[in-house]
Every structure is written in C-alpha cells, then in structure tokens.
Amino acid sequence: MKYVLITGGVVSGLGKGVTASSIGVVLQACGLRVTSIKIDPYLNTDAGTMSPFEHGEVFVLDDGGEVDLDLGNYERFLDVTLTKDNNVTTGKIYQSVLDKERKGDYLGKTVQVVPHITDAIKDRIEAVALIPVDGKEGPADVCVIELGGTVGDIESMPFIEALRQLSFSVGKDNFCLIHVSLIPVLGVVGEQKTKPTQHSVRELRALGLTPHLLACRSAQPLLDNTKMKLSQFCHVEAANILNIHDVPNIWHIPLLLRNQNAHHSILKQLNLLSIATPPDLEAWTRRAETFDNLTDSVRIAMVGKYVGLTDSYLSVVKALLHACIACSLKPSIDWIAASDLEDDTAQSAPEAYAAAWKSLRNAECVLVPGGFGDRGVSGMILAAKYARENNVPYLGICLGMQISVIEYARSVLGLEKANSNEFDDETPDPVVIFMPEGSRTHMGSTMRLGSRRTLFQTPDCVTSKLYCNPYYVDERHRHRYEVNPDVIGVLEEAGLKFVGKDETGKRMEVLELPSHPFYVGVQFHPEFKSRPGKPSALFLGLILAARGKLEAYLTRHQNGS
C-alpha cells in the first residue's frame, strides 16, 4: 500500500479536505485506485453528537457511519462509497485500547500513549486502507490520509508520532507527505510572507516528519521569489512547491494540481511512474469551465435552523449545485432563518421578518432541509404552507417532510394542534411519532441510520420517474421520528399521497401532492449520494420544476431519449 499524508499548518480551515480530495482525483485520473482516511483528533467517537454550528454538517455513510463532512468531499470527488472506519478519531482509538486493557489483552503491562495508542493508530490505518471502496475487488493502490487540525496541536501529537512510525516502517517509496500551509499577504506591505510556513515545516520536521511537497494556499498565484524562498528554507524542491490559489470554483483545484505536475512529483516519490498513465481530466475540465460560463441563475429559498454557518448544509448546497449545473443554471441560494418567518419576529425584529418573507416570495423554489429540535419549526411550517398554496416547487428533506405533514394536517384537515412528538409530547394529534430502530448499524442510539430501501407504491409517481426506477431506491437515513402510520389513511383521503414506503410498509419514505407542480417530502437524505455529473434525482426535479421544465424532462426520459 502506498500512502499520501496531508497535514496542515499555520491555521485551520485552509481546505485540506478539498486538497486531499483533489489529489485523489488526479491520481485516479492517472489510472490508479484511490481510497481515503480522515483522522479527526477529537475525543468524540464520531461526529454524530456534534452541533452543526460547531463542526458543520454530519455526513452519513451507507453503513450508518456519522462522520466528518470531509468524507463527503472524498465521496463526491472520487465517486467512492466509504465506511465508518474511514473516519479515525481519538475517541475510537482510545476506546479500542481501553476495551483491550479491560479484557487483559496487554497482559498486565502499563498501557501508554507510546506504544499502545500509536500502535493502535498504525494498525487501524493499515487495516482500513485495505477496505475496497470503489466497488472493485481487492485493496486500492494509494490511500490518501488527511490529518485534521494543525501541526502543533496537542491532541494530534499521538497521530503525528504514529504516522512518523508508519512512514519509517513502510519505507520511503511508499510514503509521501504533503503539507498544506498559508502564505498570507500583509495589507500594508503587500508582500507574500513565507515565515509562517517556515515555522510550520520546522515544527513538523522536529516531530520526525519531512514534507515531500508543500501545497501553499494564497489569494493570488505565488511569485517566483516566494517559491525560491520556500524551497531554500523548507528544504523542499522548487518543483514540489504547489500553489493552490483562490479559484472561481473548487472543481478547478484538480486541474490546478495537474497543471503544476503535482501528479508527477507524487508518483515519483511513490515509485509509481512506470505504472501510471498521463492524467485524463477532460470531464473535470468541462465541468469547471461550464460552471464558470453560466450566466442564468435560479433563486432557491433554503429555510433552515443553521443558516448562520453554510457548512451546516454543505451536502445540500453541493447537491443543489450539481442539479443546477445539469440544467445549465447557477444556484442563487437565499438563506432564510426559519425563525425570521415567525409572527414573534414581526414584533421583535420587523426588518428581519420583512426581509425573510421578501426572499421567500421571490424564490422560484423552496427547500426545507433536515434538522433536530423545535427552534424555527413554526417558520418552516409557514414556508411549507406558502409553497403548497402558491404552487411553488417544494422539497422537504427529513424534518422538511415531517413539517409538510404537520402543515397539511393543520391547514387541510383542520387539526390545529397537530404536531410531532419531538416538539410537543402532549399533542392530541401526533402526526409524527418516535419510531426507533434496532438495526445492524446500531451505534449506541435509537436512530435509523445508513442506507435503506424505499419501495415505490406506484410507478406513476414523480419520484420513481425521476429515479428512473419504478420499483425502489436505496438512500441514506438519519432520524428518530417518522410520520405516524395511524394518520396515513386520513391524510391520503385529503389528497396527500405517500408514494414511497419501507419494506414493512409502516415507515413513510416519500410523500407527494399530485395536484401541485412539485411538492415532495422524503424521510431520507438524497443529498448524501449526489455527485458532480450525477446529480441527485430529487434535487434535479426541484430545479427543473422551478423552471417549468419537469414535465418535458419526464416525458423525454420515459420515451428513453
């Protein structure tokens, strides 16, 4: 196994995840099979319990793993299906070592960070690197490892030491270290400063790791004298100093790396030049250039709880982007804090209230994404009602689907107190109830997690036509509450149709309103499987409906064209 390690220096948030993904894309384009590992040095065993405000979205995998959002980048860029083991955390490592200690596996030895924790990290990396993630048999050729955090962080020290030992044990032909660092420009001087990177590399070298390549983040392309300075003081060949400057969209980054011969430097370090082919990035080039040249945009109202941090809905934003580009449109997302639509805000913050409603009324389609807790629920219900009554295309995901059921029960069935047990335990009309699941992906909670099959109840529904499958679809889930099976009959009599159910027929997976241009709610999260060039069917349907092109698209596809 060949390993490419990505570390970061100076500051966090430099885009190590996108850099790691892009390096994987370039190596794939050279004909190599690539897998990825993300190391997160926090003590949580996974990302499942973290607030989206704290850490961005929780990305969900097929096997039910709740992982760091960077694994979403890897899956989208590399078009692979990762496992929960591909996200290594301090919590997972310590838990495994402590479990062994309690069982007496260390034969009475004193259990220490070195060698027990570091050995556990090495063993975990080497085992996970062998898991095939691209649907083919056998292990990949190259494993790209991203170490979260910044070099020098106390919490990442055991991982740095374990990776130093790994680099020594696998041999220099099987290990390539790329250090991502910042090259700032001071406003007054206007000069590209290399000192922060010099310090960062010096710290890395003091810990026993020497970078083979530097990936320098900057606003503008690196000047030649900056490169020479970095080469001289960081002990890295000038040809191995890559510049990842700001670009119009992230799909340019694999092209940026290719244009700087990053693949040649990496392949040379890993002794793979003889088996690799020249990189074929035609599709990426087309995609990046198409996006750059789009002029027409579509206005999308995103009504959610966590709109203050767009990373909270990263996969939803990417899925909208993939769908828009397939329709030759630019996404123009209006972020609406759900609570700003509520009557209380009209009293306390009339300007925010007016702005939120103006954005909603100007939107060509409405999307209510997933979330937990009762904050903003009233605003989401108002958004769903507005979209339903005004024939504005609507997509509700997870909580967004439950919101549409509550709204329909209140407005159409006249059940004024209809609610979810999540928000009101005492509601006389619980249309959404707690439906826990014990499953093969049971991870210490009652959540329904990971890939599950949805069976379409009729091949005539819009959703099955969009998925081009009259029978079923497999999508990823992350929820505890679901539509109450006892109210399905009365809701369907009133016009709301549940066109997708699980294999037992008790869990409602997809709802549609046949009298509406596009009103769809899904209990699963279609955004997690959207890919560049392969947009999620439901996001595509939303954007097509926003432009009045859905009927023509479905007719064309039914005719097999």
pLDDT at position 48: 85
User: Is-contact 176 5, C-beta < 8 A?
Assistant: yes
From CA 158, how far away is CA 93, in angstroms rounded?
Answer: 10
Mean pLDDT of 472-492: 96
Beta-ladder partners of 368 = 396
Which residues, listed in sequence order, are joined to residue 3 by a DSSP beta bridge? 143, 175
Q: Quick one: residue 489, left, alpha or beta (phi over 0 = left, psi -120 to 50 = alpha)?
A: alpha
Mean pLDDT across 379-403: 97
Integer Cα distance of 123 and 126 in angstroms: 5
- Average pLDDT for residues 409-438, to the nearest whole number? 93
Confidence of residue 36 (pLDDT cuts 50, 70, 90): very high
Burial classification of residue 108, based on how many CB atoms lie within 10 Å of its CB (0-12 exposed, 13-18 middle, 19 or more buried):
exposed
Give pLDDT, residue 560.
Answer: 55
- 223-247 pLDDT, tens digit per residue, is 999 999 999 999 999 999 999 999 9
Confidence of residue 306 (pLDDT cuts 50, 70, 90): confident
Angle at 400 between CA 399 and CA 404, to 5 degrees: 115
Q: Is 318 helix (H, G, I), strand (E, B) or coil?
A: helix
> Kindly report the CA angle at 304 between 302 and 306, in degrees rounded to 5?
115
Has residue 346 got a pLDDT over 50?
yes
Q: What is the mean pLDDT of residues 197-219?
A: 95
Q: What is the pLDDT of residue 130?
A: 97
Strand locations in 173-324 (E)? 175-182, 213-218, 241-245, 297-304
Q: What pLDDT does residue 310 have? A: 76
Assess whether pLDDT exceeds 60 at residue 182.
yes
User: Apex CA 353: angle with CA 352 and CA 357, to 5°?
Assistant: 115
Catalytic (active-site) positions: 398, 525, 527
The structure tokens listed for 506 are 């008790």
- Show the tokens assigned to 208: 């026993």
Residue whose entry in the numeric block shows the structure tokens 């009602």: 385
Q: What's the average model confidence in pLDDT over 336-354? A: 95
Instruction: Please say whether the beta carbons of 535 and 322 come within 8 A.
Output: yes
All domains in the chain, ordered by first residue: 2-289 (3.40.50.300), 294-559 (3.40.50.880)
The pLDDT, as a whole number, for residue 186 is 83
pLDDT at position 15 is 87
Looking at 248-352, which runs of residues are DSSP E strands? Answer: 297-304, 330-337
Return the DSSP state at 115: I
Respond yes or no on whether the N-terminal peptide bond of residue 393 is cis (omega within 30° of 0). no
- Which token pair is 168? 């020594």
Residue reference for tokens 């993300």: 38
Question: CA-to-CA distance for 441 and 10, rounded, in angstroms?
Answer: 38
pLDDT of residue 188: 73
Contact 25, 284 (CB under 8 A): yes
Gap between the Cα atoms of 320 and 369, Å rounded: 12
Which pLDDT value is given to residue 138?
A: 95
Reduced to 3 states (helix: H, G, I; strand: E, B; else coil), residue 420 is strand
Residue 450 has a pLDDT of: 94
Spatial contact of 388 and 513, defined as CB atoms under 8 Å apart: yes
Residue 305 has a pLDDT of 87
Q: Which of 4-13, 385-394, 452-461, 483-492 has the lowest mean pLDDT?
A: 4-13
CB 345 within 8 A of CB 319: no
Q: For residue 298, give both structure tokens.
A: 């579509």
Q: Of 48-62, 90-104, 133-147, which range is least confident?
A: 48-62
At 438 the pLDDT is 59
What digits encode the pLDDT tens for the residues 238-293? Answer: 999 999 999 988 999 999 999 999 999 999 999 999 999 999 999 999 999 999 99
Q: Does 445 score more than 90 pLDDT?
A: no
In this predicted model, what pLDDT tens digit does every residue of 111-169 receive, in sequence order? 999 999 999 999 999 999 999 999 999 999 999 999 999 998 999 999 999 999 999 99
State residue 559's pLDDT score: 63
- pTM greater than 0.85: yes
The structure tokens listed for 199 are 């310090």
Q: Which amino acid appears at position 314 of this protein?
A: L
Range from 28-37, 55-64, 137-146, 394-403 carrying the lowest mean pLDDT: 55-64
Distance CA 147, CA 160 (A): 9
Q: What is the mean pLDDT of the chain?
A: 94
Residues in the chain: 561
d(CA 78, CA 26): 10
Q: How many CB atoms lie within 10 A of CB 344?
A: 12
Span 502-530, mean pLDDT? Answer: 97
Nearest to 19 by CA among 193, 155, 200, 147: 147
Reference 57, options 318, 245, 411; nearest CA is 318
pLDDT-derived band at 442 (thresholds 50, 70, 90) equals very low
Using 50, 70 and 90 to split pLDDT, how confident is the model at 210?
very high
Task: Give me the mean pLDDT over the 533-540 stretch.
Answer: 96
Q: Please, is 55 exposed, middle or buried when counting C-beta atoms within 10 Å of its C-beta (0-12, 13-18, 19+)?
A: middle
| pLDDT in the model for residue 55 | 75
Give residue 235's region: left, alpha or beta (phi > 0; psi -120 to 50).
left
Buried-state track 422-458, b at ≥16 Cβ within 10 A, e below 16: bbeeebebbbbbebebeeebebeeebbbbbbebbbbe
Question: Bigger pLDDT: 283 or 55?
Answer: 283
